[in-house]
A = this chain, B = another copy of it.
Amino acid sequence: MVNKIFQAEPNSFIQDVDWVLYSVDPVIFTFYRDELCVLLIKRSSPPYKGLWSLPGGRVDKKACANLEQALLAKLKSKTGIENIFFEQLATYGGSDMDPRGWSVATAYLALVHESELDINRLESEEPIRWWRLSEIGGDKPLAFWHEKMIRDAFVRLRDKSLYTDLPVNFMPNTFTYPMLKQAFEKILGTSISRQSFARRMDAAGIFEDTGERETGRNRPSPVYRRIHRGGSYVFPGIIKPK
């Protein structure tokens, strides 16, 4: 039980005025039906009841020792996801973000393959679903500052996709270069030549050929796997925007 004013050490006072409301808010992107999508939950209680929002919220201070644990717990409870790539994006806050008081929220950029989340099998109290990024930001407002967080997350994703392998976190365990290339192209909004792309990926030395081949109508593509899960590769040059 927290007292309004208490003394943790001699001469060390804390007052009500020193506390803020705090949330962690993951911006979870995936490619769903070949479109870049973000996961949103419809709020069932005030404030912003009925509006769509990021699957985040308050931290369980007893259960979580730090921010990373708080985020993982939130992902587990709201989406069921346990294995996911994420990185801290930015922290937002002020008097106008939450009508309940001066509040602070840390947004995380998270990337998954859609198979990691079976929305239909998820027993959620609130409606939850993927929204195409193009659907965000029109006349349908989101709760809190979540729309800005999603915009900022996309900018981070797009900028880092020019010089890192960030989009491989959208791939399943094994994948082909055409699949990965398409992810880069959708994120960057440009087309990339097949040859340049393969050369860039081969030179990175971060993928290994599984020996398998795609099955399809045409010449099959080799199936690759990441050599090291986790971590991030920085390419020596950037993709040049046209």
Binding site for B on A (CB under 8 A): 1-2, 4, 8-12, 14, 16-22, 45-47, 58-59, 61-62, 64-67, 69, 88, 90-96, 99-102, 104, 106, 237
Contact = CB atoms under 8 A, between A and B. Distances in A.
Contacts of A10: 46
Contacts of A99: 8-9
B94 A65 contact: yes
A241 to B, nearest CB: 11
A12 B67 contact: no
Given A1-B16, A11-B45, A12-B46, 17 more contacts: A2-B16, A2-B101, A4-B4, A8-B99, A8-B101, A9-B100, A12-B45, A14-B100, A17-B61, A18-B58, A20-B59, A65-B95, A66-B93, A66-B95, A67-B93, A69-B94, A91-B106
B12 A47 contact: yes
A149 to B, nearest CB: 13
A17 B58 CA distance: 9
Contacts of A4: 4
A58 B16 CA distance: 12
